[in-house]
A and B are shown apart, each in its own frame.
Chain A
Amino acid sequence: MHVTQDAGSMPHADEQPAIDVRGLRKSFGSFVALDDIRLTVPRAAVGLLGANGAGKTTLIRTLLGLISPDSGSASVVGFDTRAEGTKVREFVGYMPEAEGLPTNTTAADFVGHMAEMSGLPPRAARQRAADVLYQVGLAEERYRLIKGFSTGMRQRVKLAQAIVHDPKLIFLDEPTSGMDPEGREEMLELIERVYRQLGIAVVVSTHILEDVEKVCNYVVILDGGRLVAAQTLGGLDVIGGEAIVHIDGDQDAFQRGLESQGVTVRPADLEMGFEELVVEVNDEAVYDLIRDLAVEQGASLRSLRTRSRSLEDIYLGTVGEMREEVRHRV
């Protein structure tokens, strides 16, 4: 599956792709972790979705140049992951999910050290460490030992070390894992700020669909090592969704009229009100059909409101389709 996208609304869409994957395959023994992944991702805020074992971590590790693929190739921010692994990592940041910080050192020392580990000279590294710790809200605490930090503060240190060398792209692995609701909100705001204001492309690997909906404008869905979808989120809102229609008139006739035009319609459930119809909108022309049919049947259109497909709908729909397809092939 090769997907390119309408990225016109994205701040950095005009630049070279952040990630370009060409037929990537990686297996561990008989387990296929990545199966012929073909993908071009713009410099966007990308949500990488998938269940456990879907291949998210293997994909990230391959893109970081830490794992060699069995076949295929990938380039990240313009560098080939196989031949230029260290160069990729010089310009890419990574925030792992696992608690992984030295406890007996200060945030400033550690983040500064990580900047040097990405190739920055010592003086610039110290300066950058102070700057990014300020950006993530740890200016006051930067000279405190990390062992005294809360979970939220540690996550901020991890984010700071990921951006300290001014990368072009950062991979965030479950960035809100283990955080309380308030801390989670703050982390999501920070991630959005990293993308919107600092201009750094972001790939957020997560199970939490809501996090992706909040901060991402592009989604990549993996399932069982296969690419299920890679597309803009905004685009899906426009073309996908439902219209909730309330008419004064013969509702059954109205439903039959729409169905005769090939539109999928069902009566609304109890939650919405029995007098309403739920019309699937796959094309802008459906709205014209509703209007014209109302005129033709002499029914008054009392209300028409749209409901976008949630990311959960998209996720469940695309993953379900892919599994069905695989089952069918087998």
Chain B
Amino acid sequence: MSDTTSPIPAAPNEGASRYGEVFDRGYAHYDGPREGRRRAIVSLFGYSIKRALGIRKSWTAKILPALLYFSAFIPLIVMIGISALIPQAEVASYPEYFQAIALLEVIFVAIIVPEMLVPDRRERTLPLYFARAITRFDYVFAKIAAATVLTMTMSVIPAIILWLGRQLTADSPASAMRDNIDDLARVILLGTIIALTLGTISLVISSLTDRKGVAIAVIVIGGLVFGGLAELAMAELGQDWRRYMIFVAPGQVYAAIASSLFNSEPGRYVQIADLPALAYYAWSAVVVIGGSLFVRWRYSPRNAS
């Protein structure tokens, strides 16, 4: 920074030590680099993550995210520890693990994602954001990226730890890692699909309300109710179209993708649906693209100023 407009140093006391001098700092114009849209998007991405995790906020804002991370990681570490101490003990398969952690992931996105989006609407900071060096699409893109990356910390990182734990507790960790590197890629792919779709669905719901509590309730209860109803319909109805009800139950879609990725025995509902794996990937793409377009529409000038 340079070109000081009004550098008005207070009259210095000749005898005073330099530590005792007081200066009016004046105002300096900024002539450093300006990184434009790219910096703005990165900043919004980082700020959204920090805000969701309660970083640089009061300690109470950090409690829930911390508890959820503990809930995800502690049982996993215990499970790996047991398998290290007792080699005969069965470690959960990847599809089993993803199924076990599904509810926790839903609660996690329900807590985290509304915090990224809702306060900007409720506190009416959107005009300030849209008056900066970003477009409305940039805003939505940064929020979706932040929601996805943060959800990946719950869907991908624990799964990678599980993969690592499995290899490290094998008789020959190095060769186990080499042999099972494909599993790592599958784990990352599945975790990313879960993060992208759950994150986008949560953003869509969060974009519809100015109240975090409402968004949280709709994500958790809505997810459970819709999932439950879809499973009930699939189990009880006789018509052929019941198979498509699987798309209303994201948990079952993830189970179907896991089953196809790891060649494991499909669950009951996946068997009832009996759809090709491609259908589940297409569903994921439709959810992410459609959800992003919807959120962008919600943040068009007509709907959000």
Chain A interface (Cβ < 8 Å from any Cβ of B): 61, 64, 66-67, 85-87, 89-90, 92-94, 96, 98-106, 109, 113-114, 116-122, 124-125, 127-128, 131, 134-135, 145, 161, 165-166, 197-199
Residues of chain A within 8 A (CB-CB) of B44 are 117
- Complex partner residue of B125 from A102, A131, A145, CB under 8 angstroms: A102
Minimum Cβ distance to chain A for residue B131 (Å)? 4
* Interface membership of B32, Cβ < 8 A: yes
Residues of chain A within 8 A (CB-CB) of B119 are 102, 104
The answer on a CB contact under 8 Å between A104 and B131 is no
* Interface membership of B6, Cβ < 8 A: yes
* A-B contact list, 20 entries, CB within 8 Å: A66-B301, A86-B37, A86-B134, A87-B36, A94-B127, A102-B119, A104-B119, A106-B56, A109-B56, A113-B43, A113-B47, A116-B39, A116-B40, A117-B40, A117-B43, A120-B35, A121-B35, A127-B1, A135-B27, A199-B5
> A86-B134, A106-B56 in contact; A131/B129 too (CB < 8 A)?
no
Residues of chain B within 8 A (CB-CB) of A66 are 130-131, 301
The answer on a CB contact under 8 Å between A102 and B33 is no
The answer on a CB contact under 8 Å between B5 and A118 is no
Residues of chain B within 8 A (CB-CB) of A101 are 123, 125, 128
Q: How far, in angstroms, from A218 to B32 measured CA to CA in the complex? A: 31
Minimum Cβ distance to chain B for residue A287 (Å)? 40
Residues of chain B within 8 A (CB-CB) of A113 are 43, 47
Residues of chain B within 8 A (CB-CB) of A145 are 58
For chain B, what secondary structure do more than half of its interface residues adopt (helix, strand, loop), or is it mixed?
loop
Residues of chain A within 8 A (CB-CB) of B1 are 124, 127-128
Q: How far, in angstroms, from A134 to B32 measured CA to CA in the complex? A: 20
Residues of chain A within 8 A (CB-CB) of B56 are 105-106, 109
* Interface membership of B34, Cβ < 8 A: yes
A96: nearest chain-B partner, CB-CB: B127
A-B residue pairs, 3 tightest by C-beta: A116-B43, A94-B131, A166-B30
* Interface membership of B268, Cβ < 8 A: no
Residues of chain A within 8 A (CB-CB) of B135 are 85-86
* Interface membership of B61, Cβ < 8 A: yes
* Interface membership of B293, Cβ < 8 A: no
The answer on a CB contact under 8 Å between A119 and B36 is yes
Residues of chain A within 8 A (CB-CB) of B51 are 105
The answer on a CB contact under 8 Å between B123 and A102 is yes
The answer on a CB contact under 8 Å between A119 and B25 is no
Residues of chain A within 8 A (CB-CB) of B301 are 66-67
Q: How far, in angstroms, from A118 to B41 measured CA to CA in the complex? A: 10
Residues of chain A within 8 A (CB-CB) of B131 are 64, 66, 89, 92-94, 96
Minimum Cβ distance to chain B for residue A140 (Å)? 14
Residues of chain A within 8 A (CB-CB) of B127 are 94, 96, 98, 100
Residues of chain A within 8 A (CB-CB) of B27 are 131, 135, 197-198
Q: How far, in angstroms, from A117 to B34 measured CA to CA in the complex? A: 10
Residues of chain B within 8 A (CB-CB) of A85 are 135
B127: nearest chain-A partner, CB-CB: A96
Q: Which of B1-56 contact A (CB under 8 A)?
A: 1, 5-6, 25, 27-30, 32-37, 39-40, 42-44, 47, 51, 56
The answer on a CB contact under 8 Å between A165 and B128 is no
The answer on a CB contact under 8 Å between B29 and A166 is yes
- Complex partner residue of A120 from B32, B124, B130, CB under 8 angstroms: B32
* Interface membership of B74, Cβ < 8 A: no
Residues of chain B within 8 A (CB-CB) of A121 are 32-33, 35, 39
Q: How far, in angstroms, from A323 to B57 measured CA to CA in the complex? A: 53
Residues of chain A within 8 A (CB-CB) of B58 are 104, 145
* Interface membership of B132, Cβ < 8 A: yes
Q: How far, in angstroms, from A104 to B52 measured CA to CA in the complex? A: 12
The answer on a CB contact under 8 Å between A94 and B35 is no
The answer on a CB contact under 8 Å between B133 and A118 is yes
- Complex partner residue of B29 from A94, A118, A199, CB under 8 angstroms: A199
The answer on a CB contact under 8 Å between B25 and A134 is yes
Residues of chain A within 8 A (CB-CB) of B37 are 86, 119
Q: How far, in angstroms, from A156 to B156 measured CA to CA in the complex? A: 43
A103: nearest chain-B partner, CB-CB: B123
Residues of chain B within 8 A (CB-CB) of A128 are 1, 30
Q: How far, in angstroms, from A94 to B119 measured CA to CA in the complex? A: 20
